[in-house]
Structure 1
Amino acid sequence: MSNEELRTAADAVLARLVGDPTGRARLREDQWRAIEALVADHRRALVVQRTGWGKSAVYFVATALLRERGSGPTVIVSPLLALMRNQVDAAARAGIHARTINSSNTEEWETVQAEVAAGEVDVLLVSPERLNNPDFRDQVLPRLAAATGLLVVDEAHCISDWGHDFRPDYRRLRTMLADLPQGVPVLATTATANARVTADVAEQLGTDGGSGGGTDALVLRGPLDRESLSLSVLQLPDAAHRLAWLADHLDDLPGSGIIYTLTVAAAEEVTAYLRHCGHTVASYTGKTENVDRQQAEEDLLANRVKALVATSALGMGFDKPDLGFVVHLGSPSSPIAYYQQVGRAGRGVEHAEVLLLPGKEDEAIWRYFASLAFPPEEQVRRTLDALAQAGRPLSLPALEPLVELRRSRLETMLKVLDVDGAVHRVKGGWISTGEPWIYDTERYVWVAKQREAEQQAMRDYATTTGCRMEFLRRQLDDEGAAPCGRCDNCAGARFSDKVSGDALDAAKGELGRPGADVEPRRMWPTGLAAVGIDLKGRIPAGEQAAAGRALGRLSDIGWGNRLRPMLAPQAPDGPVPDDVAKAVVEVLADWAKGPGGWAAGAPDAQPRPVGVVTMASASKPRLIQSLGARIAEVGRLPFLGSIEYAAGADTARVPRSNSAQRLRALDGALVVPPELSSALAAVEGPVLLVDDLTETGWTLAMAARLLRRAGAKGVLPLVLAVQG
């Protein structure tokens, strides 16, 4: 087949893909160049093009043409389930049979693998996590690599730890690339990569842009301007004004869209408030059940909701061409991440609004996520030593008590070490390979500096008087970036900062409403024997805390903004402020009247508290003691005393890492003094246990165990804030 005939066939597939009955659809020139490289020349290609450019058309058209020539199925590595659902539907329009293997369809894996083996599948979408699942990696992946006709790495910026969304599972692609037969084409695509990320992705995939190494790759990088997007920033005084603005102006925004928040708590707050104001919205976060996520996506696609209030869980891969707006309630820490999210809007419409409403809490949230970066060398070495000394595979629950890392951070670190060859994932957990490993200090330092530079860029974006689209394009090293003529700085502000009194009052009421649940610990963490603690299984009912209450979450945009600076490690200690004490009393009143409360007529009423106990504190003793005293005074309850630190206990640092390490530090560090024991023996009923902050819940659990053993008939935790 000549190149002219191939181009004609490619355009015909495109027409089916986009649903053009006239057959007049034509590929863009760079789309055709990529398809030609893949199908005719069997080359490797890296395509960096703006969201909505049509990268998926490249691999679907290439798949159809390669399958007609007898090639094996296309394997697409995709990071998100939303992307997979969109891709399966899009493939069907072009007559391409696509199937997926991911965490949400485990019951279908055997059937899918059988269909692939029988040649019935044209496209197999695989989540990157599958690439290092032992069974998949050792049994399925080799056969898949041998039969693959085209390998596609979608959202390829995830390969690079320079990028905003690094995922170590993607590094496993090196193994698959090495196992591909000679001449199998490879396509990597992304919309969000600056020059450094592009170079790193090219290196990871063995696509060096034709600069050597024998890969003869094609790199296609296009302009990133989105002519449909009108960018704006609106500076408002506080969280209440931002919520009120949304309530007043949401219906003025075109079509339906997405409201991004930085935390799950904020997404839930905003959703509740907007629904209260009569808007049809739904939340979409990492905590949303898969079936609810799918329903929310479908509702937005069908315009049954005005907006989804979402975290970054709704990001790459969600495809709604007529999405009319994207609003950020809080600023992402990276202009590249920001551009990727706003790129959801305006794909198939002439005009879409993009609005950033930055908040005072943004930088505290940035600092929290920055704390989850690759661990220091000491912690990495400790993990490697633990695996080497074990002499057998260690699961994450078994390894966690031996190292000072939370499970999610530990797993991410192990995946990086796996790619580096220092550890290996097998059935039953992880093992040490014994191979030498070097901590790449220079790289990690540079990555950290890159993150700091990105944060400064977002501060600059919010305050620049220049063109905002040009600013973002320059951050992505987009050559030819020039003023767009559409943003608020180019064309004038389109949004007023005025809000109605009613909306502002309602927002203040919503954000000022105190109260958050504190879930008690019911089970001891696994592996405590490894750190010398003889506790396991379910915490006995007679040693548990009851469900408790907090004034707020540190991650929310209501009380979180008030409590965050007050509870910061460097904040001075002092008596509880009057407004905070008053709000805590409101929490107590609501608690008493609600389910499981102690007020007359409360559903499932429980015994009334008979006293107040405070927690020991090395950093905020005056705050906690004054809070306990105020609660005792208002509630007309006796102040029974305080749990104290044992003599010689190290109060300087209780690690806020994983559960086992935290319990090891707490074991024996807290005591019930004799005078408190005597006071507990003299009362009949539960006690309020007062503290400033709970993060893991283990301090409250250990304190409750001590109090129950000392004679307390029940323990009701009451804290100022929940971390998270």
Structure 2
Amino acid sequence: MPTPQRSDVDLREAAEGALRRLVGRDDARLRDDQWTAIEALVSRQARALVVQRTGWGKSAVYFVATRLLRDAGAGPTVIVSPLLALMRDQIAAAARAGIRAVTVNSSNVTEWDQVHAAIAAGEVDVLLCSPERLNNPQFRDQVLPRLAADAGLVVIDEAHCISDWGHDFRPDYRRIRTLLADLPTGIPVLATTATANARVTEDVAEQLGVAGDRRSAEVLVLRGALDRESLHLAVLDLPDPAARVAWLAQSLGEMDGSGIVYCLTVSAAEEVASQLRAAGLEVGAYTGRTDPAERERLEQDLKDNRVKALVATSALGMGFDKPDLAFVVHLGAPSSPIAYYQQVGRAGRGVSRAVVALLPGREDRAIWEWFGSQAFPPEDTVRATLAALSPERPTTVPALEAVVDLSRSRLEAMLKVLDVDGAVRRVQGGWLATDRPWEYDADRYARVAATRAAEQRTMLEYQSATTCRMAFLRRVLDDPELADGWTCGRCDACGGVALPAAPTAEAVSSAQAGLDRVGIEVVPRRQWPSGVDTLGVPLKGRISGGEMAETGRAIARLDGLGWSGSLRDLFGERDEAGAPVDAELPVPLRHAAVRVLDDWEDLWTVAGGAHQATVAGVVGVASATRPTMAAHLATGLARYLGVPVLGTVAPVPGRDEPSRHDVNSAQRLAAVARRLGLVPARDATTGEAASLDGARVLLVDDQIDSGWTVTVAARLLRRAGAEAVLPFVLGVR
């Protein structure tokens, strides 16, 4: 590849010019280690690992190096990046420096052809792709080899994901080792992360140095200090979930600025967000179940301070960039100090003071154990999967589910590991066995499990520590610059931060009632996914207020406690042939549904001393698998409210193909939008269709998965004249 023919002085001057354009500041200067990495990549085509704290400027290294290499005639940079939030921010940053960046990921499938054409035409400086794309058959076999051969620079962002020992190991990242080994000589490689202890750093550096069948002669490792002078760490031990939620509802408004509240599970994040909204706080829930388009909207709302906080799982982590994030609160402790440091590192990048509070829970260990149980399956399960695969005829994941006792997510994760190990291969149409010898590495899995257990013990020690908390984290993360006896002077142990007081008994009682109450909010979708308009469905951007549902209600989430168990039993019941059991709704769930309606203030008004429903009628969503139950639910709720059934949202004749769940959000929405139509009820005597003009309507469905059925149904009703649509479902997945 071409090498810039410049002196070090000229090269650094060009590099700092690119940096100033990138950050938009005329006084910007490269840090010494930034320049060391850039010079190694550009002048010596080296392989480098940069381990530096969040906010240090790792992305500046690869964008500046890209600018210099492209100016010298090198090919485009390929960045493997794990999160969509990171990609969006990086594309915007690249544009400021005059760098043309594009992305290929699961949320923009409809744009892939245009992206590939732009790359082939030389119109792209940077391609960002998710690690999952590395195992997409078409991308892996047709696009990636061409990119790797022509690349000017390869970047592995959040490189700790490569390592078994990292807190966020991802099977798809293991394929990067193969990518690096296949690179032609002379293509520089950069790996970056903020979250690696000495063991992870050594492991990543070793894998980074792979070049064909030999070790590369040069792997430059640059590690910096982990202290963040703006962070004020504290731990608050409260007795139960109700006390923690009450403290948050009482204290959030007292905290400066906006921030993130982390929870360990999706259900906890959604339940806490609902409670905080009920307390009058403007918050949003951000989890792995949140649709990409909705995630983008929520990220922007937080960046623009339109919300006080996002209540999030670890889905909002690596790569999210808000320099003025003023606080990070954890309701429940992550299982690893590395994961904890990575998440709190989101705060205080551009402000002088940020509060970081950990509220551990008694239930944390049970949650850690559950996630631990999702590790690599036992050998007999793996062997059963391999035996079920053919070397010639692809087998789909749904077909494998019938013979392997694993959930969909665990099965898919296992297949990814087996793919990287060479035992199976993903192709168009499913998975093939390769007939290559494969050994179950029980020793390695046991070592990783032991490491995880040790990290959990370390988190418990952090919670009970009476010495400097930042010093504790720097020590367990092997900070090379930590001096003996150093203290931060800013944490609660050092006397540098005081959290708001414990909640009142009244506040705790109110929070407990909220946790015990049947019924949860169903927040409507506000944004159509990008690309759906290219699939023949003219929907784009934010959902118009005149076509959107109101905030709805459900009995419970299916992955929670309490009523969730009854709902899981209901939806999981199968007959001898394996088909869903279709019958009238069980009596206990009828009572639960009525209780939800009773507590729904927007559904009632008082007239003449009596409660009357504010809705003019009910519209049910037809079910292909449980038609009896769906009809029974809609008509039963209509009778309870004393209103008629005004119609049904059902498949249009000839378009009743089942909806697929293994496609991206745009494709799922397009299928729903094409399939569903409104069938008005008709008067038995006159045959006239029921009118929805000006009506408030209760929209009834059995459950919410992607949310597009309810969203499309609400749009149909609003366009038919409904003034408002209030969704009710039994359960939310």
Q: Shorter-normalised TM-score: what interval? A: 0.7 to 0.9
Q: CA deviation at 1:503?
A: 2.9
Match of 1:500 in 2: 504
Q: Secondary structure at the match of 1:509?
A: helix
Q: CA deviation at 1:38?
A: 0.3
Match of 2:244 in 1: 242
Q: CA deviation at 1:400?
A: 1.5
**Partners of 1:254 and 1:353 within 8 A in 2:** no
1:33–1:723: structure 2 CA closer, same or farther, 3 Å change rule?
same
Match of 1:164 in 2: 167
Match of 2:446 in 1: 445
Match of 2:209 in 1: 206
More displaced stretch, 192-201 vs 486-495 = 486-495
Q: CA deviation at 1:723?
A: 12
1:372-521 matches, within 5 Å, as 372-388=374-390, 391-481=392-482, 482-491=486-495, 493-515=497-519, 516-517=555-556, 518=567
1:62-211 matches, within 5 Å, as 62-206=65-209
For residues 12 and 489 of structure 1, what CA distance do their matches in structure 2 show?
Answer: 43
**Partners of 1:46 and 1:207 within 8 A in 2:** no
Post-superposition CA distance 1:391-432 (Å, at most 9, x none) = 521111111111111111111111111111111111111111
TM-score normalised by L of structure 2:
0.72
**Partners of 2:468 and 2:494 within 8 A in 1:** yes
Q: CA deviation at 1:442?
A: 1.0
Match of 1:682 in 2: none
1:12–1:355: structure 2 CA closer, same or farther, 3 Å change rule?
same
Match of 2:21 in 1: 16
For residues 238 and 73 of structure 1, what CA distance do their matches in structure 2 show?
Answer: 53
Q: Which amino acid aligns with 1:299?
A: D
Q: CA deviation at 1:206?
A: 2.2
TM-score normalised by L of structure 1:
0.73
1:535–1:494: structure 2 CA closer, same or farther, 3 Å change rule?
closer
Q: Which amino acid aligns with 1:395?
A: T
Q: CA deviation at 1:601?
A: 7.5
Q: Which amino acid aligns with 2:296?
A: Q
Q: Which amino acid aligns with 1:205?
A: L
**Partners of 1:232 and 1:493 within 8 A in 2:** yes
Q: Which amino acid aligns with 2:502?
A: K
For residues 375 and 463 of structure 2, what CA distance do their matches in structure 1 show?
Answer: 25
For residues 432 and 252 of structure 1, what CA distance do their matches in structure 2 show?
Answer: 58
For residues 305 and 588 of structure 1, what CA distance do their matches in structure 2 show?
Answer: 31
Q: Secondary structure at the match of 2:257?
A: coil
1:36 aligns with 2:43: no
Q: Which amino acid aligns with 2:507?
A: A
Match of 1:263 in 2: 265
Match of 1:294 in 2: 296
Match of 2:547 in 1: none
Q: Which amino acid aligns with 2:45?
A: H
1:722–1:45: structure 2 CA closer, same or farther, 3 Å change rule?
same
1:500–1:594: structure 2 CA closer, same or farther, 3 Å change rule?
closer
For residues 424 and 508 of structure 1, what CA distance do their matches in structure 2 show?
Answer: 50
User: Structure 1: which 5+ runs fail to align?
Assistant: 551-584, 607-695, 697-720
Match of 1:317 in 2: 319
Q: CA deviation at 1:244?
A: 1.7
Match of 2:561 in 1: none
**Partners of 1:73 and 1:123 within 8 A in 2:** yes
Q: CA deviation at 1:130?
A: 0.5
1:299-698 matches, within 5 Å, as 299-388=301-390, 391-481=392-482, 482-491=486-495, 493-515=497-519, 516-517=555-556, 518=567, 534-535=577-578, 539=580, 543-544=582-583, 546=585, 587=592, 590=595, 593=598
Q: CA deviation at 1:592?
A: 7.8
Q: Which amino acid aligns with 1:4?
A: V
For residues 266 and 588 of structure 2, what CA distance do their matches in structure 1 show?
Answer: 19
For residues 133 and 544 of structure 1, what CA distance do their matches in structure 2 show?
Answer: 41
Q: Which amino acid aligns with 1:47?
A: V
Identity %: 62
Q: CA deviation at 1:722?
A: 9.7
For residues 404 and 572 of structure 2, what CA distance do their matches in structure 1 show?
Answer: 20
For residues 46 and 359 of structure 1, what CA distance do their matches in structure 2 show?
Answer: 36
**Partners of 1:207 and 1:217 within 8 A in 2:** no
Q: Which amino acid aligns with 2:198?
A: A
1:261–1:592: structure 2 CA closer, same or farther, 3 Å change rule?
closer
Post-superposition CA distance 1:529-585 (Å, at most 9, x none) = xxxx6446xx47xx34638877xxxxxxxxxxxxxxxxxxxxxxxxxxxxxxxxxx9
1:254–1:522: structure 2 CA closer, same or farther, 3 Å change rule?
closer
1:590–1:142: structure 2 CA closer, same or farther, 3 Å change rule?
same
Post-superposition CA distance 1:148-204 (Å, at most 9, x none) = 110000001111121111111111112322332210000000000111111221222
For residues 423 and 103 of structure 1, what CA distance do their matches in structure 2 show?
Answer: 22
**Partners of 2:210 and 2:216 within 8 A in 1:** no
Q: CA deviation at 1:338?
A: 0.5
1:591–1:305: structure 2 CA closer, same or farther, 3 Å change rule?
closer
Q: CA deviation at 1:240?
A: 1.8
Q: Which amino acid aligns with 1:416?
A: V
1:601–1:279: structure 2 CA closer, same or farther, 3 Å change rule?
closer
1:339–1:159: structure 2 CA closer, same or farther, 3 Å change rule?
same
Post-superposition CA distance 1:264-319 (Å, at most 9, x none) = 11111211121122211111111222222111110110111111111111010100
Match of 2:11 in 1: 6
Post-superposition CA distance 1:443-502 (Å, at most 9, x none) = 110110111111111111110001111111122111232321111101255124332355
For residues 494 and 210 of structure 2, what CA distance do their matches in structure 1 show?
Answer: 39
User: Aligned Cα RMSD in Å?
Assistant: 2.8
Q: Secondary structure at the match of 1:251?
A: helix
**Partners of 1:330 and 1:358 within 8 A in 2:** yes
Q: Secondary structure at the match of 1:488?
A: coil
Post-superposition CA distance 1:636-686 (Å, at most 9, x none) = xxxxxxxxxxxxxxxxxxxxxxxxxxxxxxxxxxxxxxxxxxxxxxxxxxx
**Partners of 1:328 and 1:356 within 8 A in 2:** yes
1:397–1:521: structure 2 CA closer, same or farther, 3 Å change rule?
farther
**Partners of 1:322 and 1:348 within 8 A in 2:** yes
For residues 241 and 521 of structure 1, what CA distance do their matches in structure 2 show?
Answer: 32
More displaced stretch, 403-412 vs 484-493 = 484-493
For residues 273 and 378 of structure 2, what CA distance do their matches in structure 1 show?
Answer: 38
1:204–1:547: structure 2 CA closer, same or farther, 3 Å change rule?
farther
Q: CA deviation at 1:594?
A: 8.0
1:243–1:396: structure 2 CA closer, same or farther, 3 Å change rule?
same
Q: Secondary structure at the match of 2:389?
A: helix
Q: Secondary structure at the match of 1:402?
A: coil
Q: CA deviation at 1:258?
A: 0.3
Q: Secondary structure at the match of 1:231?
A: strand
